[in-house]
A = this chain, B = another copy of it.
Amino acid sequence: VRRLSLYLRGLEELEREGVRTVASEALAARAGTTAAQVRKDLSLFGSFGKRGLGYAVPPLQAQLRSILGLARPRRVALLGAGRIGAALFEYPPFRERGFRIVAIFDEDPEKIGRRWGGVAIRPVDELADTVRREEVEIAVLAIPAQAAQRMADMLAAAGIRGILNFAPVQIQVPETVVVNDVDMSVELEALTFALESAPADARASGTAG
């Protein structure tokens, strides 16, 4: 599934380079996978290519955006105005893909009331109201582990639909909420595992899973 997102990125690069049409082989190289994989993945959602030619870049881009649910902008709340929150708030790929951070929350009274690029940092007790008023669909959890479950409960109660969780803890949510975890120390440890267990035959790129 997340390969689709890599294909979309590859197509954006190709478009910037002025390429109009692309073969599965070339797209696979950009996404770090194989031509057969690209074709299988895409054919799962429809027939987008032309035999003998390849895929037309702009239409396939539009298709992928639609499949990935990026056809319309998404309203996002950021929880946690610390360093990770700051990094995510300014992260260009988010806004390029249509994610709009419309609300920021923090528990630190020092931070509450400040503004980041026109968005006020609010106290957590305004969460439910703000989520509803601003029609927030997605929350990004950039807070310490011990606060994560509490915030997840409030978000679920406020009717959020998805959570991108950067907190290094497993959160429990009702079935109505989709969670995706991004765990940076797990990723770093996957790397040391690969270093430890394959110091000789270490194969490149993405093998650290």
* Residues of chain A at the chain B interface (Cβ within 8 Å): 1-2, 4-6, 8-9, 30-32, 67-70, 74, 82-84, 86-88, 90-91, 93-94, 96-97, 99, 137-138, 140, 161-164, 168-199, 201-209
Contact = CB atoms under 8 A, between A and B. Distances in A.
16 contacts: A2-B189, A8-B189, A9-B169, A32-B170, A67-B196, A67-B197, A138-B191, A161-B202, A162-B195, A164-B188, A172-B205, A175-B202, A180-B188, A180-B190, A180-B208, A181-B205
Contacts of A32: 170
* Copies of this chain, count: 2
A96 B184 CA distance: 13
Q: What are the 9 A-B residue pairs with the smallest beta carbon separation, nearest first?
A: A69-B196, A180-B208, A69-B192, A93-B185, A83-B87, A5-B189, A5-B186, A87-B87, A32-B170
A181 B205 CA distance: 8
Nearest to A178: B194
Given A91-B185, A177-B204, A184-B93, A192 B83 contact: no
A206 B136 CA distance: 21
Given A6-B170, A31-B170, A87-B87, 16 more contacts: A2-B183, A2-B189, A6-B183, A32-B170, A69-B192, A69-B193, A83-B87, A83-B91, A84-B87, A86-B87, A99-B188, A177-B204, A178-B191, A178-B204, A181-B205, A182-B184
A184 B171 CA distance: 19
Determine which residue in A140, A178, A204 has the highest number of CB atoms from chain B within 10 A of its CB, and name it. Answer: A178
Contacts of A69: 189, 192-193, 195-197
